[in-house]
């Protein structure tokens, strides 16, 4: 019962915003905030709030709700029997994200992998202007994650006494923080970098560290009015586990049609949210440990 109350209290504030939408706008118009007369703001540094897995410096526009579907198939090197990953082993995330004023944004989602419930708050601290009066955009991001998998009993080697993996609710929690710094260099090219910190209240092995820190980078190159090429990479600086993990690398293609943004990509991480793909990417590009994935975003003004 305590478990259920915790989840309900976590979900309810976000789900209240999932009300019927009354109109739909072109995404470029939604990202275009009210412009000051002297220093017009740069718009659409990135077309949406994600590059592939990683957050961009963007928030959705005023009174805008973004419904997101993210899907990752299995890895290519699983072979023909598994139809090169398309037959199974998928990870799916559904998310709702909202901003009232176009500057402060929050969202909630649920992933099938580890039955992960996530929530985040995102705030645009500084925004680039077209006349370079402000040369960069800076956005702060704070994420919280709750692993809702069924509790399991663990028996220590040589010990007949078992115990529950998650003895306390806070043991299921983890967090991630970023400062996203980026610039739109031209109508075609945008770049951002983001130092990050991931913290786990409880780790799987006593030798694992609770904190993982590093820096990510992402770029977007627009080659037509509605299509662009994207790349993202997360570099973990510290050695936080004796288990072999790899840095997450994704290459993608995106297309915008009205209020829809469709992103298709190749990525070596199964996880979609930060506490999964940053520290626990188990596959690498060099042996075809990559998977096909896509994101679909639909925005509404409410």
Instruction: Grade residue 18 by pLDDT with cuts at 50, 70 and 90.
Output: very low
Distance CA 245, CA 213 (A): 14
Find the range with the poorest average confidence among 70-79, 116-125, 273-282.
70-79
Measured CA distances, 249 to 43, 145, 239 (Å): 26, 22, 18
pTM of the predicted model, to two decimals?
A: 0.84
- Give kind and range of the element (H or E) at residue 121: strand 116-126
Structure tokens given for 24: 């739909």
Contact between 188 and 221 (Cβ < 8 Å) = yes
Instruction: Grade residue 1 by pLDDT with cuts at 50, 70 and 90.
Output: very low
Q: Over 90: is that where the pLDDT of 81 sits?
A: no
Cα radius of gyration rounded to whole Å, the chain: 20
Distance CA 161, CA 155 (A): 6
User: Residue 149 CA to chain centroid, in angstroms?
Assistant: 20
Instruction: Give the DSSP letter string of 254-273.
Output: EEEETTEEEEEEEES-S--S
CATH code of residue 289? 2.40.160.40
What is the per-residue pLDDT across 143-197, written as a single tens digit (0 to 9) for each?
A: 999 999 988 776 555 555 666 788 889 999 999 999 999 999 999 999 999 999 9
Give the chain's domain count.
Answer: 1
| Better-scored residue on pLDDT, 105 or 6 | 105
Residues found in the chain: 302
Q: Over 90: is that where the pLDDT of 216 sits?
A: yes
Domain span including residue 194: 2-301
């Amino acid at each position: 019962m305590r478990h259920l109350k915790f989840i309900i209290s976590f979900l309810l504030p976000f789900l209240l915003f999932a009300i019927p939408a009354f109109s739909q706008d072109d995404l470029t118009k939604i990202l275009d905030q009210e412009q000051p007369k002297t220093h017009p703001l740069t718009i659409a540094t990135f077309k949406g709030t994600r590059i592939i897995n990683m957050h961009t410096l963007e928030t959705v526009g005023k009174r805008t709700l973004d419904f997101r579907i993210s899907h990752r198939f299995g890895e290519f090197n699983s072979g023909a029997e598994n139809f090169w990953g398309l037959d199974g082993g998928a990870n799916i995330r559904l998310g709702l994200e909202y901003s009232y004023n176009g500057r402060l944004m929050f969202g909630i989602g649920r992933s099938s992998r580890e039955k992960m419930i996530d929530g985040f708050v995102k705030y645009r601290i500084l925004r680039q202007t077209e006349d370079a009066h402000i040369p960069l955009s800076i956005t702060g991001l704070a994420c919280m994650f709750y692993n809702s998998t069924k509790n399991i009993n663990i028996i220590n080697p040589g010990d007949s006494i078992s115990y529950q993996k998650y003895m306390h609710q806070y043991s299921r929690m983890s967090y991630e923080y970023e400062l996203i710094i980026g610039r739109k260099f031209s109508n075609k090219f945008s770049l951002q970098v983001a130092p990050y910190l991931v913290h786990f209240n409880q780790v799987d092995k006593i030798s694992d560290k609770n904190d993982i820190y590093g820096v990510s980078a992402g770029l977007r190159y627009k080659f037509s009015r509605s299509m662009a090429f994207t790349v993202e990479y997360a570099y973990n600086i510290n050695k936080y586990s004796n288990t072999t993990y790899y840095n997450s690398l994704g290459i993608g293609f995106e297309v915008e049609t009205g209020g829809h943004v469709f992103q298709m990509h190749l990525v070596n991480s199964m996880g979609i949210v930060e506490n999964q793909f940053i520290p626990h990417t188990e596959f690498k590009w060099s042996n075809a440990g990559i998977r096909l994935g896509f994101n679909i975003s639909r925005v509404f003004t409410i």
